[in-house]
Structure 1
Amino acid sequence: MNNQTLLIVLFTTLLFSCTENKKSTQSTKQVPTNYQVKIDSLLEAYDKNNKFMGSIILSKNGKIVYKNAVGFSNIKLNQKAGIHTKYCIGSVTKSFTATLVFKAIEENKLKLNETIESYFPNIKNAKKITIAHLLQHRSGIPSYTKDKWFFENRTQYISPRKMVSKISAYESNFEPNSKGEYSNSNYFLLSLILEKVYNSSYNNLLQEKICIPLQLNNTYVGKEMNPNESYSYTYDDMWNEFPKTNLSTAKGTGAIVSTPKDLNTFFESLLSGTILSEENLQLMKDVKDRFGMGLFRYTINDRHGFGHRGRIDEFRATSIYFAREKLAFTLISNGATIDINGVYQEILKLYLNDTPIEISENDVKKFVGVYVSQNEPDEKTVFIQDKNVLINFIKNEFKEPLVYKGNNRFVLEQMYAESISFTFSADGKQMVFEQSGNTWKYTKE
């Protein structure tokens, strides 16, 4: 795959992936810093205009540096959201499930390369599908959440046997390990495998292996509504409660209830290497076709992190840990009328104080033109200009504005893939294309 094709694939991925409580709950003895004031103001504006309800926490070196909650957790009871409000976290559950699988591997209960026919003999290609394929969404098993049957029955209890029967009836989407395709079926099956090899419930394993050691006191598999749990809401002139999915249908793919604080603790512990061996953590982080094993890779303003996002009902959750910065971030929403991806990116930019570096229109002009690869003469990349913004024009189809980083370097920021860097010579006649440690040299026509 050449560089520009890679760029289009990654850009297309990006296209298709998104009163008292209004004030930061910092101690009254602390003077709010600049980023705290800015983030508070942003969230107050969202809350006032019915754009967002939920909770946010940032932790640096394990210590909370920002926390806030806006909106309601229970509108019927006029109950405001607080920093200890618990939310359904949807597919962020998958990171817990993957961690439990690797714990099982370390305890010689499972092997990555073992196939699943002994657990689910009726699933198509069961003799070819491995534990690793399930973890990395490379099994070819269709996602049951795309089945009309699921949405017609999601608010009811459905037994694991019934769920497996439904999943087993699906024809395979592709040959196992030939590509990656996100499927909730994979992690539902992994949770059942864990229950079988340990002869214990998924929730008991979650508590024993992760929550109790890390003191995650507000993290568990959801069932009945517990105190301080939030409902989720849609908005149509007013907030309306969304019918709750029965979490029996989610299990290890999306059944966990938690708080932002607990999620920050979990991801910081996992990604700093205190839960799993270094070898197994690296396996979780190795990305193929956009998927790690229970983790996504995030890039925000040249900063690289790992985590997961989730959605169930009208809940949206995102947790990311940036190892270099030792920064953990979690946002969970129980109602939003705006793109949650945009919300958390803006919050992170305010915290990180990533203000744009200015460049003049005249200086941008030097970098406008067609650049040809020195190794592959047929490969070209095009840059155009909009005032003082340099734009990468990809295959005459996609126009993506670049962020100026100084020293003639521009970056294409991508949320779920590595940033792409373009560094020009001072006269604009040479350019270096860089991504994931690989570099390619170009010359202007």
Structure 2
Amino acid sequence: MKKCTLIFLTLLCSLFSEAQIANKENLDQLFDTFEKENKAMGTVSILKNGLETYQKSFGLSNIKLDKKANEYTKYRIGSITKTFTATIILQLVEEGKLSLLSLVSDYFPQIPNSNKITIKNLLYHRSGLYNITKEKGFHVWISKSRNRKEMLAKITNHKVDFQPNEKTAYSNTNYILLSFIAEKIDKRKFSKILQRRIIKPLNLKRTIFGKKIKIKKNEAFSYYWENTKWNPITLETNLKGPMGAGAIVSTAKEINVFYSNLFSGKLISENSLQKMTTPINGMGMGLSVMKYKGLLIYGHDGGIDGFRSMAAFIPKKKLSIAFTLNASNISTSGTLIEIIDTYFKNDPTVKDIPLIDLKTEDLDKYLGIYSGSSFPLKVTITKKENVLYAQATGQPIFKLNASKKNVFNYDPLGIKFTFTPKNNSVTVKFQGNNHLLTKE
């Protein structure tokens, strides 16, 4: 009996190892292509049950010094910071120091509509506060050190976009305010709060509240593609401004460690995690929520100064995926889908949802450029053979899946396109809001 058990375990381990090797080879090929075709440079990490099962760095962290990226290279992770901030706020709620129904006026009464905006509104991007990072010239203004007084003045200088809880609209302003509120309650700088509540308990040795990029500390420089080469981005955000909206610097692995611990109950209670992951219009608290191939995925992307990053956790598979890029010509959400498709290529439990089949001529009635008063960008609909594609002005192109007649979806962002060919129009549903666009 013992001998049979040993043979079975040996065979099982052998099969598992073979699957892992094949899996690794496919992933390696994907990221080697990214580097060779100048699509991106950076690091990717995958954790299964809290243990790293895959890691790959590709490209250079510093082109001038010809310095290759490695697993310890640190990147600005932008808005992934918001998941950290939401975690801290929920910890304060658990400690009875704050309530989700607390009003912003309790802390910063000068903020527009502060007597109506709750902590919950901020967490869910339902405050109606203007996103100050959209302000013209903001990227230059924020390159200088900015204190709380200056940031609050910048916020109060704008009228609200809508009334609290009226709809969902992503705004960095919400999480800047949340970090200021955490400072008031904890009586510490946000950098110290991060250190005490998340970084130290998880032993994250390469996660910090960012300062000026330091090459000697293995921090990557960022680049943009122009004239057939990667060019350095010289204007650098001073991270004292973005605070809890985008100030963290980390590695792909340590982002995964944070996410794995968050979803295993090491940072907040099961009750708080349930609240955090319950979506309103596709948004949780400091998290986006999406479904792909039957998998429920929680995560957040990040973009700052040319850096692009993504973190995702798949509860069903106890899998976390993170990638950090210092140069990118690709969509972060599209890259996540490529990684998932590659990783689960031979997994019979992960299957495409059956979609309707269309001929290429069936798609002609949808083609064209669409625009509407409630949507800030024009959307161009094209096709390749029998597949429809959409691209908003200045954004990456993405593939649409046909779910039924005249209805197409882009699952990674939860976008739904419902065409009405006889009216030459399409209704785009995004983050719970419907936008009617008409063909030009």
- The TM-score by the shorter chain falls in which range? 0.7 to 0.9
Structure 2 counterpart of 1:319, from 311, 316, 320: 311
In structure 2, the partner of 1:184 is: 172
Q: Secondary structure at the match of 2:198?
A: helix
In structure 1, the partner of 2:412 is: 415
Higher mean C-alpha displacement, 271-280 vs 254-263:
271-280
Structure 2 counterpart of 1:229, from 201, 212, 219: 219
**1:50 Cα shift?**
1.1
**1:162 Cα shift?**
0.6
- In the alignment, is residue 261 of structure 1 matched against residue 258 of structure 2? no
Q: For 1:228-249, what per-residue CA distance to the aligned partner results, in whole angstroms no more than 9, with x for missing partners?
A: 1111100112211112111122
Structure 1 counterpart of 2:276, from 261, 284, 289: 284
**1:266 Cα shift?**
0.7
In structure 2, the partner of 1:111 is: 99
Letter in 1 for 2:283: F
**Structure-2 separation of matches of 1:341 and 1:53:** 16
Q: Secondary structure at the match of 2:179?
A: helix
In structure 2, the partner of 1:302 is: 294
Letter in 2 for 1:247: L
Q: Secondary structure at the match of 1:41?
A: helix
Percent identity for Structure 1 against Structure 2: 37
**Structure-2 separation of matches of 1:335 and 1:33:** 28
- In the alignment, is residue 273 of structure 1 matched against residue 265 of structure 2? yes
Mark the runs of 5 or more structure 1 residues left unpaired by the alignment: 1-29, 370-385, 392-398, 405-410, 421-445
- Aligned 8 A contact 1:272 1:323 in 2: no
Q: Secondary structure at the match of 1:82?
A: coil
- Aligned 8 A contact 1:301 1:354 in 2: no
In structure 2, the partner of 1:15 is: none
**Structure-2 separation of matches of 1:329 and 1:231:** 22
Letter in 1 for 2:27: I
Q: Secondary structure at the match of 2:240?
A: helix
Q: For 1:149-168, what per-residue CA distance to the aligned partner results, in whole angstroms no more than 9, with x for missing partners?
A: 41231211122211101101
In structure 1, the partner of 2:75 is: 87
Mark the runs of 5 or more structure 2 residues left unpaired by the alignment: 1-16, 363-382, 389-398, 418-440
| Superposition pairs of residues 35-74 of structure 1, within 5 angstroms | 35-74=23-62
**1:351 Cα shift?**
0.8
- Aligned 8 A contact 1:299 1:413 in 2: no
The alpha-carbon distance between structure 1 residues 418 and 275, as it changes in their structure 2 partners (threshold 3 A), is: farther
**Structure-2 separation of matches of 1:401 and 1:189:** 38
In structure 1, the partner of 2:367 is: none
Structure 1 counterpart of 2:244, from 252, 259, 263: 252
**Structure-2 separation of matches of 1:344 and 1:221:** 25
TM-score, structure 2 normalization: 0.76
**Structure-1 separation of matches of 2:328 and 2:384:** 34
In structure 2, the partner of 1:239 is: 230
The alpha-carbon distance between structure 1 residues 207 and 179, as it changes in their structure 2 partners (threshold 3 A), is: same
TM-score, structure 1 normalization: 0.75
**Structure-1 separation of matches of 2:329 and 2:415:** 28
In structure 2, the partner of 1:11 is: none
The alpha-carbon distance between structure 1 residues 120 and 45, as it changes in their structure 2 partners (threshold 3 A), is: same
**1:66 Cα shift?**
1.1
**Structure-2 separation of matches of 1:387 and 1:103:** 49
- Aligned 8 A contact 2:24 2:54 in 1: yes
- Aligned 8 A contact 1:300 1:413 in 2: no
Q: For 1:265-286, what per-residue CA distance to the aligned partner results, in whole angstroms no more than 9, with x for missing partners?
A: 1111112222111111111111
Letter in 1 for 2:230: W
- Aligned 8 A contact 2:126 2:164 in 1: yes
**Structure-2 separation of matches of 1:68 and 1:168:** 44
| Superposition pairs of residues 99-248 of structure 1, within 5 angstroms | 99-226=87-214, 227-236=217-226, 237-242=228-233, 243-248=235-240
